[in-house]
Homo-oligomer: A and B are copies of this chain.
Amino acid sequence: MTSKKVVELFYDVVSPYSWLGFEVMCRYRNVWNIELKLRPAFLGGIMQGSGNKPPGLVPNKFLYMTKDLERLAKYFNVPLESPSNPAEAMFVKGSLSAMRFVTAVQEMEKSGDEQVERVSRELWRRIWSEDKDITEPASLSEAAMKAGLSESEIKELLNKYTTQKIKDKLKFSSQDALNYGAFGFPLIVCHVEGKPEMFFGSDRFELMAHCIGEKWLGPQPDKSAAKL
């Protein structure tokens, strides 16, 4: 048995394309010989650090992305739906507290990242499926509850997610992504023979599979695992 290739997935729940990439990678962690490392980070910091601008500022691009996401969501079987006011949800309200919360979950979780996975998914479901808030403590609690965390765990997280330690951890993670060359999310970094191979977006899986010596079987390699 060959050793598993480490694959890092940098994401932010404010990013709909990250949700698609996240679900695909979570499905493939059981199909490919990889060790998936979830790397919650802050997209706002990436855009600022790289000097990039949100693509939706160009009207034709915004229209296209809305349609593109709708088609991809169906094809990927992810229940993604645009919020009624995407600009407000993404740029005014944003995801800083949500990503600090996910970072606190990761800090708290002793082994594996099952809770990080589930809490991230519930936050995406709120903002990118149910048009709900992800900035208030009550919203974060609700997401954590749906993700199956206990009341005492949620209490601990609420005490923790605004501490300097967690703020710094999220900053470091975002800086890691920038150091790899990020200018947006998702960023997937495959470690192949000691070298990082970076893939931006949710449209390079076939190429990625080719690069890591695996086979791309479409966005739903195991139909039963695709229930969200």
Contacts and interface: CB of A to CB of B under 8 A. Distances in A.
Q: How many identical subunits does the complex contain? A: 2
A182 interface: yes
A75 interface: yes
A59 B50 contact: yes
A157 to B, nearest CB: 32
A181 interface: yes
A78 interface: no
A182 B58 CA distance: 11
B60 A210 contact: no
Contacts of A53: 53
Contacts of A194: none
Nearest to A65: B200
A92 interface: no
Nearest to A200: B64
Interface in A157-175: none
For chain A, give the interface size range: 20 to 34
A204 B67 CA distance: 13
Interface in A28-57: 50-53
A68 B208 CA distance: 11
A181 B211 contact: no
Contacts of A211: 71
A53, A64, A203, A210 interface centre (most CB from chain B within 10 Å): A64
Contact of A58 (B50, B59, B204, B207): B50
Interface in A63-113: 63-64, 67-68, 71-72, 75
Enumerate the 5 nearest inter-chain pairs by beta-carbon distance, A residue then B residue, closest first.
A203-B203, A60-B183, A50-B60, A61-B183, A52-B58
